[in-house]
Amino acid sequence: MRKLLLNSTAIATVAALTASVAVADVSISAATEFKYQSRSSQVTASDGTTFATDSEIKFSFTNKTDSGLTIGYVVEMLSDGGNTAIDESSMSISGGFGKVVLGENDGVGDNFGIAEMDLIAEESNSNALSTSINTNSDIVNLASNKTQVAYFLPAMGGFTAGASYYDSGTNTGADTTEYGAQYTMDAGGNTITIGAATGTTEAATTDIDSQNLGIKIVSGNLSMIASNGTYEAADEDRSTTGASVSYKMANGITVAAYSLKSEDDLDLSEEYTASGVEAQYTVAAGLTAVLTVHDYEYPLPTVRDPGF
């Protein structure tokens, strides 16, 4: 007698949400950057000049329901050199309860963290020889653009907050949770914003944790940021502090400067320092010219002996 063995997999869908945008407000926007970069360093292979582009097209759909809910759908598509990959795609539902975002998007840490580079139009790639050091004080985007759910509280005075969750889909996977909050207040005509973000990715041995805390002060045409970021994982204990300032001049030019320092306490001599200046000029509506000079130091680290 032949026995037929059947292997069956049961998939249960708890809830399915479908947003219809047949009748909706539609907006299409695009941004493109053309860069000329010149590099001189002690790493010969990294030196030279190069052209680069960074472009994106954004499609946004919104619809208002009879019950007062606002349904949104956003698609961001890369458009460089024949690359038409979808970068982010998510739907949102908002109302008096706040806002829920479902889909491929950054975690909420990206919305609430404050880092020194937030005042800089063009972040320079230091091309460091190792990925074991932070090059800014922002929260490390642990879940990146993976499919997740996020919730944003309705604004209460100057306070906003949110949380996001990424489910890796397996019992042994790396689920990621992020939280963030900001508070903005007026002090003698100056606007002060305090922001904080934290994220954790579960791991089999040591969880990955990243935090950011920053403050931004705007006084007329002058803006300043001071921030600190940390990252902890297996054999990683990084801390980064940074500061930046920008000023809008009467002639339409915005000048900015920044400085930061990052260290990994688990690696001897692993220290990254960077500073730079920048000038922005609006040539015409929608057209801006930016000149950035970036200087950094990153010596090769020495791995600490576990018995040290």
Do residues 75 and 210 share a domain?
Answer: no
Distance in angstroms (rounded) separating the CA atoms of residues 76 and 84: 10
Domain stop point among 75, 95, 115? 95
Counting Cα atoms < 13 Å in the Cβ hemisphere of 53 gives 10
Kindly report the backbone phi and psi dihedral angles of residue 273, in degrees, each rounded to the nearest multiple of 5, phi listed first: -125, 145
pLDDT over 70, % of the chain: 85
Q: What is the mean pLDDT of residues 152-163?
A: 96
In a domain, 8, yes or no: no
Contact 184, 193 (CB under 8 A): yes
What is the domain-level CATH number for residue 109?
2.40.160.10
In a domain, 207, yes or no: yes
pLDDT over 80 at 124, yes or no: no
Do residues 80 and 147 share a domain?
Answer: no
Neighbours of 43 (CB within 10 A): 12
In a domain, 126, yes or no: yes
Do residues 109 and 52 share a domain?
Answer: no
In a domain, 178, yes or no: yes
In a domain, 2, yes or no: no
Q: How far is CA 66 from the centre of its chain?
A: 35
Q: Where in the sequence is the domain holding 177, given as residue range(s)? A: 105-303
> Structural domain tally of the chain?
2
Instruction: Tell me how many degrees the CA angle 109-233-86 measures, rounded to the nearest 5.
Output: 45
Instruction: Tell me how many degrees the CA angle 286-290-293 measures, rounded to the nearest 5.
Output: 165
Instruction: Tell me how many degrees the CA angle 271-274-277 measures, rounded to the nearest 5.
Output: 175
pLDDT over 90, % of the chain: 58
pLDDT digits (tens, 9 = 90+) for 54-88: 899 999 999 999 999 999 999 999 877 666 688 89
pLDDT value of residue 181: 98
Burial code (b: 16+ CB inside 10 Å, e: under 16) for 102-141 equals ebbbbbbbbbbbbbbbbbbbbbbebebeeebbbbbbbbbb
- Give residue for tokens 């005075």: 157
Do residues 128 and 62 share a domain?
Answer: no
Do residues 191 and 272 share a domain?
Answer: yes
Do residues 41 and 144 share a domain?
Answer: no
- Give residue for tokens 């950057």: 33
pTM of the model: 0.85
Domain stop point among 49, 75, 95? 95
Do residues 141 and 66 share a domain?
Answer: no
Q: For the ranges 20-34, 139-153, 238-252, 261-275, which has the lowest average pLDDT?
A: 20-34
Contact 243, 227 (CB under 8 A): yes
